[in-house]
Structure 1
Amino acid sequence: MDPNNRITITVCGDGGCGKSSITLRLVRSQWTHEYDPTIEDSYSVTRTIDGQSYFLMLTDTAGQEEYRGLWAASNLQSDAFLLVYDITNSNSLDALEYFMEMIDMEEETRIDAGKVPPVRIVAGNKCDLQGLRQVSSAQGLEWARKRRCGFMETSAREMVNVEETFALLVRRVVEARRIAAQGGPETEPTQALPPISEKTASPTTATPVKATDGTSKRGFWKKFKCW
């Protein structure tokens, strides 16, 4: 496969917000309500987006504070970051600041080196639990906009916006690469692209590359929120 069609994605966020559930929904179409803390798992999956096949390499990272120091430098080299919070836990949105600060520093390094800056999308997970919601969609959207990130609300349990979110990440990585190749302005590509269509992504294959201690983890509103 063309190296330009290989995209690396790091999934990050607080413990228990559903990072592993979202990842495994994408690569294995599985979901589980059991919470098994992840240290780090890696997977690969192929998706056809806008008629083009892409090989996605995903890293599901630790969210608990005691494990954050284990973040490998390679995690920050990803093309894109999916920052996940739990809409029923406002503290999980605040916890994204830690990851955002590290990504901000990585972005500055890449821009100084003339490299493609990373793409960032914030995902408010568990949007099927409306009765327990603590973070409104408007709050999540505003938080993401202030930090120049894209925004979606997802539900791994109900399979809401999981495919769409990763398709959006891919499209924005492709756009960021195009802008960089043309020597265009170093602007945040996530602000320039329109919402994806319902037919953007279609599953083809899903193959786990490495599964360590996280292998047991796993349309309410179709396209509920996208920015």
Structure 2
Amino acid sequence: MFRKDKSIKDAKEAAELWKALPQEEKEEYEAEYKQALDKYKLNVGEWQETHPPEKKARKEAGTSRKKVAKEGVPKHPTTSYLLFKLERGITDVKEAGEAWKSLSAEERAVYEEKSAEDRKRYQAELAAWKNEHPGEEPFERKTANQVPGESAKKPAKPKKVWAEGEPRPPVPVQTDFAKSHGKGMKEGMEAWNAMTVEQKKPWVDRYKERKLAYEKEKLAWEAKQRGENTAEGASGGSGEEEV
């Protein structure tokens, strides 16, 4: 806001100019910031309404993927800060940070030079690895519970089989918008992203209403299913055994 209006790129300069501003002008910028923050929160809330927490679900299920170096790939170069920590034997993060800040430029240069040498080592070893493994990437994505040597592909989701009469959930907001305007998904998403929050709001509200109706229908359907199953169980076990 303030820095953008003043075309300021340097944080120090921005801080000095901010201090020099009269209180009335500061309040204007603060109000503008609050308005932008509220808009951001609305956008985040809207996004969360239409996007399930897939990343969290994958992590809990042990299917989240991380980047893993293949066998024989050289170790990444060590940063100057980490070299300093290892040499001094400092394990506390706060203590290490303060000690690093207290170093003079000449003292830091020693570790930076060592780090630069280690980067050269890494680049040379990585180039050699790539020559030995043409066409291969040095890193791959693996899931937490993946068996070594097994494909790192994301497992396919089982197809949902709908029972007779089972309510269907509403389509996502963007899909509803695209279909209502006779657009393909790509074109529809472009049009959706170009809209303002106010323009999107009726569609989001419509989705919320449909979702609420779906949840009510689902609860009623599940209750009905439980009732029918209970009735079947009772009728099946009511007969007397012959002696």
TM-score computed with the length of structure 2 as normaliser: 0.20
Greater relative contact order, per chain length (Cα 8 Å cut-off, separation 6+) = 1
**Structure whose residues are more often strand by fraction:** 1
Q: Which has the larger radius of gyration?
A: 2
TM-score computed with the length of structure 1 as normaliser: 0.20
